[in-house]
Amino acid sequence: MPVLLSFGHTLLLCILIRLVTALYLSEPGQVTSSIGLLSASSPLTSWSNLQEGLYLFRKGIDPYEGGVFRHPPLYLSFATIPISFSSSFSKTLLSVLWTTCDALSAYFLVRIWRLRSSTSSTTRDSLLVMLYMLNPLIFLPSLALSTSSWDNLVILGAVVCACEAASGSHESKSNNSIFASRSLLLLALRTHLSPDSIILLPPVMMIILSKSGPWSHLASPSKFALRKTTGSVQQVGQVLGEWFLYWVSLTFISSLVSGGTGWMGQTWGASFTLPDLTPNPGVWWYFFTEMFDHFRPFFLMVFSVHLLLYVAPICIKFQHDPLYAFFVLTGILSTFKPYPTLSDAGLFMVMWGVFPEVYQYLRHPLPTVLVFLHSALLQPLFAHLWLSHGTGNANFYYASTLVGACAGGMGVVDACWGGLRIALGDGKGKKTEGVSQEEGEGEENEVVTQQ
């Protein structure tokens, strides 16, 4: 039987494949223009837009005055480093940076799995690395140098630090506090770069504060309990206050970089006002293209609030397993955010690998996969017919994005169904053998009711 490579060898092989492919392409724009792919990046994550803003910034012109540049000032500072070199070396450096970014994200994903399964190494590590590094939904945005790859790195880093803090595997409590602070810092950075990811704030904070840790408790639901039994309000206020302090500090640094606060409306405001209606795999752009200006503010409010409506129910229902609540909210965000890219759907897809205990309880996995593949094939095809051949129109492409949204919704519904169904067992009086430190406990107390 074929044997999987070790985690380190698999990661090195994936890095090599990614680097060779990235260096083979002459320009990042070739990724999108050659296949008519509009979903590799968005106006908020596009590398070409970032280059344009950096050019204006170097010429002493405020890039946020034109109403086209949407990247936060922190990305503006970051892009200054690779662009300052010659064009050939700059291209190589950018390929290395984006490949390293995805390699770190893959490592964080494996680390999350290890913490959840309470193991130091498993055969699943190599599968998770390949699932992330060779996933087209992750690969293509990285080839296009979309900043969404860095967004994924930041949020996965926040989650792995939160799991480290909650696992209690460190001898010193100060080390757990350090991991918690790192998680809150990265979480503040993610919400600073992408305001709509604020919906991921509650589950990550619940991981930090939870007594149950990052382990699977889907099969044994219980009420949420803090690690410290006293001062619950003080604990929540302290964590929330620390996150807010980091967020304010990042905002202050961004204002210093840009020389004012005008960037806020052009970056954060874009997620709420949708000024750029460039086609993307989301459901917002076409709807507001056809919307009368009189009704636009109302429906912008409805679409924005719609994202927030899921946070409380999901966090309450999966309060016994906040890491799973984070996973479900990731799928909701990738489906309904204003400017989604392939990286958002890719993150939701690879996170499935961390929860193998729910696979046997999924309601309709095959139709969900087939609908997703249907959308993934139609989107570049219809975009190419519309923009290159002129034989299609925007309705064709939007129809394919609606199919993608349906696939995302089906995935979220299936995740909720499997996460809830696992607590009832397999219908034969047996609980699932989930990944948990508590597996095997309580089996003697199970009662089988027979007709």
Q: In which region does residue 231 sit, left (phi positive, over 0), alpha (psi from -120 to 50) or beta (all else)?
A: left
Establish if 442 belongs to a structural domain.
Answer: no
Alpha carbon distance 279, 230 (integer Å):
51
**Token pair recorded at residue 364:** 């309709």
Residues 111 and 231 sit within 8 Å (Cβ to Cβ): no
For residues 30 and 95, the answer to whether their CB atoms sit within 8 Å is no
> Which domain covers residue 35, as residue numbers?
7-268+278-433
Helix (H, G, I), strand (E, B) or coil at 223: coil
146: in domain: yes
DSSP element (H, E) containing 118: none
Residue type, 163: C
CA atoms within 13 A on the CB side of 370: 4
Residue 14 has which token pair? 């994936």
Q: Tell me the residue type at 408.
A: G
Alpha-helical (H) ranges within 59-172 are 73-83, 87-117, 124-133, 136-143, 148-167
3 state SS of 154: helix
118 lies in some domain:
yes
- pLDDT given for residue 15 in this prediction: 92
| Cα dist from 374 to 353, 380, 383, 421, whole Å | 22, 11, 14, 28
Length reported for the chain:
451
Residue ranges of the chain with per-residue pLDDT less than 70? 1-4, 25-38, 84-87, 168-174, 228-231, 426-451
Cα separation values, 126 from 149, 155, 266, 324, Å: 20, 21, 41, 22
CB-based contact 246:158 (threshold 8 Å): no
pLDDT in tens, 219-235: 888 888 777 666 678 88
- Residue 441 in any domain: the answer is no
In a domain, 61, yes or no: yes
The answer to whether 355 and 249 are in contact (CB under 8 A) is no
> Which single residue is written with the structure tokens 């080839």?
143
pLDDT value for 150: 94
State the DSSP code for 341.
-
Q: Please tell me what DSSP assigns to residue 385.
A: I
DSSP string, 262-298: THHHHHTTHHHH-------SSSSHHHHHSS-TTTHHH
So what's the pLDDT on residue 244?
95
- Taking the CA atoms of residue 54, residue 152, residue 138 and residue 344 in that order, the dihedral angle to the nearest 10 degrees is -100
State the pLDDT at residue 120.
82
pLDDT number for residue 7: 83
Is residue 443 domain-resident? no
Which pLDDT belongs to residue 322?
Answer: 92
* Confidence (pLDDT) at 60: 83
In a domain, 391, yes or no: yes
In a domain, 290, yes or no: yes
Q: What are the start-end ranges of the H helices in 168-284? A: 173-193, 201-209, 232-258, 263-267, 270-273
Q: Which residues neighbour 296 within 8 Å (Cβ) at sequence distance 6 or greater?
A: 288
Number of domains in the chain: 1
User: Cα separation of 321 and 29, whole Å?
Assistant: 41
> CA dist 446 to 187, 320, 424, 436, 437, Å?
40, 20, 11, 18, 18
* Residue 45 neighbours by CB under 8 Å, 6+ apart: 71, 141, 146, 147, 148, 151, 339, 341, 343
Q: What token pair was written down for 250?
A: 């990042």
